[in-house]
Amino acid sequence: MEALSQKIDIMCREKFRRLIAENIARLGNISIRYTKNNKKLSLEHLETIYNSYEKVVRDIPKQLLKIERTVRLKYLEPMSDKRRCDILRKMSTDVELLINGMDDEYRAVYSKHHKTEEFEQRAQAILAASKKKIEEETVKLAVILDQEIVGSDRIPPAGLAKVYGLDESTLVDLNAIRPLQNLHQVFDRLSSDERARAAFDGIQKSIILCSKFGTGVEVDEKQSRTVEARRLKKNSMVAGTLVLQELIYNIQIMVEQLQLPEERRNGGIVCKTWDRLKDLLKGYEGEEQVLNCLTPFFQMFALHEKQEGV
């Protein structure tokens, strides 16, 4: 998925910039400390500078590959050989530019201490070690992703988008991918239970119904192109999206309770969550229909008799 790789690249560039900014700030603090002690650009100071660069060189593959793994597991998207080679090339280039920058910045200073050759040897050694580490870790990550994704029973985001009639980008904005994947996993394991099937069907219908909240706002046709009309539509959409996000969040809480053995379930949490759902839906057209869809799910906890009026 080329679009996913581009998304990851944007996140990685931002993380890379933060790592560089942190190193610059760290070098500034180091310089202040050694200047105060009248040891500016002493061998001791230079060693601390070198250690700071060594740290950022270690952190680059560690942090960037962590992003790669997290996002690809979220979308259940493995890493192609081409992607692995691209990562290797980009990260190796970034590290090389960083080390060369350090070399250009401090070579003359090391020369005054008659340590130029030693400095350059160390710089090249850390560069070679870093490139080797990057290659090893990218290969390792590709294998891990293949193992975890091929053996995963989680429904991919594209599948969720199709089921619920939502864009993948909307699912991301709602932070709904993992909760919905977990929802499907839990009820797939309960597929032989007729009550569970009815509850799952109701949950899906409730989410689809709720996803329409805010989309049907009526505006006078004569005023439809005005700023006020556009603002009204936008505010309505935002409100509807927030309700959908809260609906999924509260369903997630109840699903977590459902996964526990009956004796360990917290009835108080379930009832409070159910009450929150009812308050959440108040005032929306289709409120009763959504609650009716969710009722079989709540009844799976056998708490309906304790909750009058449900």
Instruction: For the chain, give the mean pLDDT.
Output: 87
Percent of the chain with pLDDT over 70: 87
Would you give the end-to-end CA distance of the chain in angstroms? 46
* pLDDT tens for each residue of 83-116: 999 999 999 999 999 999 999 999 999 999 999 9
* pLDDT tens for each residue of 116-167: 999 999 999 999 999 999 999 999 999 998 888 876 678 888 899 999 988 8
User: For position 226, what pLDDT does the model report?
Assistant: 58
Sign of CA dihedral 211, 297, 263, 192: negative
User: For position 151, what pLDDT does the model report?
Assistant: 62
Q: Which tokens hold the place of 171?
A: 């699912």
Residue 308 has pLDDT above 60, yes or no: no
pLDDT band at residue 306, thresholds of 50, 70 and 90?
Answer: very low
**Following DSSP, what letter does each residue of the chain receive, concatenated?**
-HHHHHHHHHHHHHHHHHHHHHHHHHHHHHHHHHHHTT-TT-HHHHHHHHHHHHHHHHHHHHHHHHHHHHHHHHHT-PPPHHHHHHHHHHHHHHHHHHHHHHHHHHHHHHHHTT-HHHHHHHHHHHHHHHHHHHHHHHHHHHHHHHHHHHT--PPPHHHHHHHHT--HHHHHHTT-HHHHHHHHHHHHHTTT-HHHHHHHHHHHHHHHHHTTTTT-----GGGTTSHHHHHHHHHHHHHHHHHHHHHHHHHHHHHHHHTS-GGG--HHHHHHHHHHHHHHHTTSTTHHHHHHHHHHHHHTTT-GGGSTT-
pTM for the full model? 0.64
* pLDDT tens for each residue of 227-276: 554 554 444 445 568 889 999 999 999 999 999 998 899 999 999 999 99
